[in-house]
Homo-oligomer: A and B are copies of this chain.
Amino acid sequence: MSEHFSDRLRRTAEPIWKAQHAHPFVRGVGQGNLDRERFEYWVRQDYCFLVEYCRLFALAAARSPDLPTLTRFAELLRATAVTEMSLHRELAAGLGISEAELEGEPMAPTTQAYTDFLVRTAATGDFAELCAALLPCMWGFSEIGLQLALGPRPADTRLAAWVDAYADPDFAALADWCRGLVDRLGANAPPATLQAMEAAFMTSSRYELAFWGMAWRMERWPA
């Protein structure tokens, strides 16, 4: 049987994804020794990210070619806006960050660049590009969560909860559904579409890696 399109994408992005797994931020989560300041920074910026990721799911729902796909994205949107963001708010509360502070957090340069890329692609690209652009975030977090869950459980309860959330089989199932969607859209697609999908997948992969780097060095806008 021939390789799925998502396998090919994953292989092309291998050096970037490998660098994600090896990133000191990710390893710090797994080893339970990531410092609180960097983790707090990540929580704030990921909250900003999720607001925009919701817009991505919303545009995906709006542009879905059929009702089952539309419904799935509608559920993903609501789950993100309601469930996942609530978890972030709780996590933030545990770190002493008020909801108002969280809402008022300005996006750092990498968060803005990544989310502008995602929303722009979702609004003006073809539906297949939109799906290829949103895949690396879901798939990557699931892969990282599952990988870290193989190691010893982090002593830090917050970091342990982080691993649990992204190692969750339900989350893996969501990522699998997205992969399947990309595979279906890539099957029999003409070369120009495949190229555009690969470009979107690679750009998002690069931004996923850059997001860890941003959190690690607690990036700020130049004064």
Q: Which residues of B contact A196 (CB under 8 A)?
A: 65
Let me know if A70 and B82 touch, CB within 8 A.
no
Decide if A94 is an interface residue (CB 8 Å cutoff). Answer: no
Specify the chain B residue showing the minimal Cβ separation from A192: B65
Decide if A61 is an interface residue (CB 8 Å cutoff). Answer: yes
Question: What sequence of 0s and 1s flags, for each residue 187-216 of chain A, a beta carbon within 8 Å of any chain B beta carbon?
Answer: 111111000100000010010001000000
Q: Which one of A74, A203, A221 has the highest number of Cβ atoms from chain B below 10 Å of its Cβ? A: A74
Q: Which of B58, B188, B192 contacts A190 (CB 8 A)?
A: B188
Q: Which of B75, B117, B190 contacts A78 (CB 8 A)?
A: B75
Q: Which of A55-76 contact B (CB under 8 A)?
A: 55, 58-59, 61-63, 65, 67, 70-71, 73-75
Query: Which segment, of A21-29, A121-129, A141-149, A155-163, faces chain B?
Result: A121-129
Q: This chain: how many copies in the complex?
A: 4
Q: Give chain A's interface secondary structure class.
A: helix
Specify the chain B residue showing the minimal Cβ separation from A47: B67
Let me know if A54 and B82 touch, CB within 8 A.
no
Decide if A169 is an interface residue (CB 8 Å cutoff). Answer: no
**Chain A residues at the B interface, C-beta cutoff of 8 Å:** 51, 54-55, 58-59, 61-63, 65, 67, 70-71, 73-75, 77-78, 81-82, 85, 103, 109, 112-113, 116-117, 119-120, 122-128, 187-192, 196, 203, 206, 210, 221-222
Beyond the given A55-B63, A67-B103, A119-B120, could you list 15 further A-B residue pairs with CB under 8 A, ordered by the A residue number?
A: A51-B67, A55-B124, A58-B62, A62-B62, A62-B123, A65-B196, A71-B81, A74-B81, A78-B78, A113-B113, A113-B117, A120-B123, A123-B124, A126-B126, A187-B190
